[in-house]
Structure 1
């Protein structure tokens, strides 16, 4: 039996078995409904979505920590380690599209439970194979499987986007994504704790810490989350957004923001060890700093969403990309001057700005379809139909942009790998990042802020 949120009998939800939850009446833009029943239900789903996504990010970025344990006895050079972190990034990017539409097919609660339990596979495998003498091919295969953690983000964001009204999407998506992104610095802190206590000879302890947490996340989702049946009835959204030019513009911008965050998060520890090897001659020295950038970038992501709610996503995104170009220039100058303090300042600035940009770009996605819905209503489309189309297309684009954007993390690791292979430093990569942010700045202004009669407003 389905639960109807927003009916006169608001005690129905409490009487229904948790496993049977399926919401058929969901009207977040209705202020009375939202205050009476919607906000409480949305917050509950948000909390458990964040928990599952947080652990997914930790598993996805697990190998950014494990490579710090791979000393000379593993016989892997820096280029090989960058490959170990690029592979899970790539698989996670590829899984984001199917994960997004798994929510529509199976339900947000159902898929959250399954995708959380799936995280047991890469953690158990990592705990089994990590020992000196293991073949590099085996490590590559196991690292690649950790990419399943990257898919959780897309399904979580698509699900939460449908729960919240337009006026709160920037905040809700920012909290959901920021809480998930915190999984990157947290797993790095776990790695630091293991290095400081058990030592570099015990990398297996890092993935094994997450086994009970994964089970708890899946159990919480099973008991406390809901399925939105309106999302489950959608089958056309991906085809529709794939034909929408704004979808590809937003995907490009998300390469610049999220691609930077996840790429730098995976690579930062290795970059410190390779570029400043005299200062970071042991793994624990790098681990003391590795978590700082992802931590700051994660914490400011909801702030980016709030800023976008107030000033508009396009304006915040443009300012972010301009400053990121300046930050990349600072890192390049620090690298050439061999200045560690300046290098850390520039890199931490990039992490913070990428976090703000993550929040503002995701606010732009529902705003684009909200603006298009307003145009459709003005030409005679039923308002409820227009609102439903806006929500499902925004959810689909969140998946598409998330998948394409995550490819940016692969590009970041590939850029570092090639730069250190050819010139023994990251200068070529930093220059490429600067150019990419400049391109994203121009595109943001030209499409969403340049004065034009054809421009969408309110983005």
Structure 2
């Protein structure tokens, strides 16, 4: 490895081959990848916190703000929408500017929504103003795509499940972290002081950018490839995995943003009582994401994802029963189980992506480094699209809750729709990735091995 300065004024590694075990174990590849992973996790963690900022801010919004429950659900949906859209350009920014350099820039961009919110978060602010400021936090959602694309390039296929799971899980913990901060502020200073939360995070944003500048690297071999982006967009697997990722990550981020509002509106919890409970599910869901990746490394992502969707459907059934019986204890059991399962599914689904495109390369007759390069090329491009669509699933979650409470004064109808979606994802995972024999090819001209599920081990 050699570093060079010049392009975009940063540290560049000119040669990178993590699939070469000697390079990985003896040439310092593993140590460099781990260092970049640590600081990528930190930046992504802060990004997730800012992205989910308004799931906390709405808990501070009492009657004096003049925003009804339906309006609050729409407020927390807006960052999810913007964040999902931002994931596409953020994916390509890594190759354009370098992973280290873009981590610095994307971290500093988080100052825009935090500083702006500090000025407008007070009674009397118009709903339009609040919506615009909430939309700005969407930049935090983009951080996930660039971070995952960057770390995907650093690690070999055999360790991607664990590395991507750890990177994403550490980032996801940003959601319960800011919710715990909000709980601490409400419990000590009271619900009239939301700016204290912002005062905590503004210096953390600066810290994340500084550490990225000091300790991260850019990979010169990572290039934007318009052909790969178009190929990924045309490949049916990209969109199938997007549907599955809506079910896992879309559920995680949607539930994370909506949980506190559901507790207030369905069970009459006060802001402090809701904040006492809101962080638990996102925390557990974040912590188990690397476990989902590790299980996928060992047993195959498709198998873990399949059974995980079945378990998510069962947990949703528990939530529906609890909603009808108005049992807060049972509701919490079912909902927290859903969070845990979204974390497992996030890890296993993301592990599938590099493996699927590696298998496609083998089906096309490629072997060795050529197959590895093809897999990295298309999976990197596909991850941005899949991550963007998955995040948009969080918008659907919040809009479903909004309509459900508007029309039925309960979240139960929304949960029935989620149950149906998990059933669809279960069937889709089985039919495309696990059914024996493999059946019809997924894309035109693609031959699947007869008598065995082509992607069972991905």
The answer to whether the aligner puts 1:305 opposite 2:293 as a matched pair is yes
* Structure 1 unaligned blocks of 5 or more: 6-11
| Cross-structure match for 1:159 | 150
Superposition pairs of residues 427-442 of structure 1, within 5 angstroms: 427-442=412-427
Whether 1:448 aligns to 2:433 is: yes
Aligned-partner Cα distance in 1 for 2:20–2:168:
25
Matched with 2:385 is 400
Structure 2 counterparts to residues 110-259 of structure 1, below 5 A: 110-232=101-223, 234-259=225-250
Quick one: distance in 1 between partners of 2:314 and 2:17?
Answer: 43
Are the equivalent residues in 2 in contact too, given 1:106–1:232 (CA < 8 A)? no
- Which of 13, 16, 28 is residue 26 of structure 1 equivalent to? 16
Matched position secondary structure for 2:18:
coil
| Residue correspondence of structure 1 range 90-109 to structure 2 within 5 A | 90-109=81-100
Quick one: distance in 2 between partners of 1:223 and 1:456? 44
Trace 1:50-65 onto structure 2 (pairs within 5 A).
Answer: 50-65=41-56
Residue ranges of structure 2 left out of the alignment (5+ in a row): 439-447
Offset of residue 382 of structure 1: 6.6
Separation in 1 of the partners of 2:231 and 2:146?
18
Query: Match of 2:64?
Result: 73
1:232 Cα deviation (Å)? Answer: 2.5
8 Å contact kept, 2:108–2:206: yes
Whole-Å Cα distance in 1 between the matches of residues 374 and 201 of structure 2?
A: 38
| RMSD of aligned residue pairs (Cα, Å) | 1.6
Aligned to 2:394: 409
Distance in 2, Cα, partners of 1:432 & 1:138: 32
TM-score for both structures, normalised by structure 1: 0.94
CA deviations over 1:214-272 (Å, ceiling 9, x no partner):
01100111111111111125332210101111010000000000000000000000000
State the 1:456 CA deviation: 2.3
Tell me how far 1:388 sits from its aligned partner.
Answer: 1.6
Looking at structure 2, the residues matched to 125 and 240 of structure 1 have their Cα atoms a distance apart, in angstroms, of 39
Distance 1:68 1:427 in 2: 22
Equivalents in 2 of 1:236, 1:180: separation in Å? 30
Partner of 1:9: none
Q: Show the counterpart of 2:442.
A: none
Q: Which stretch of the first structure deviates more once superposed, 197-206 or 287-296?
A: 197-206
Displacement of 1:374 in angstroms is 2.4
CA deviations over 1:131-183 (Å, ceiling 9, x no partner):
11111110010001011100000000011001001110000000000000000
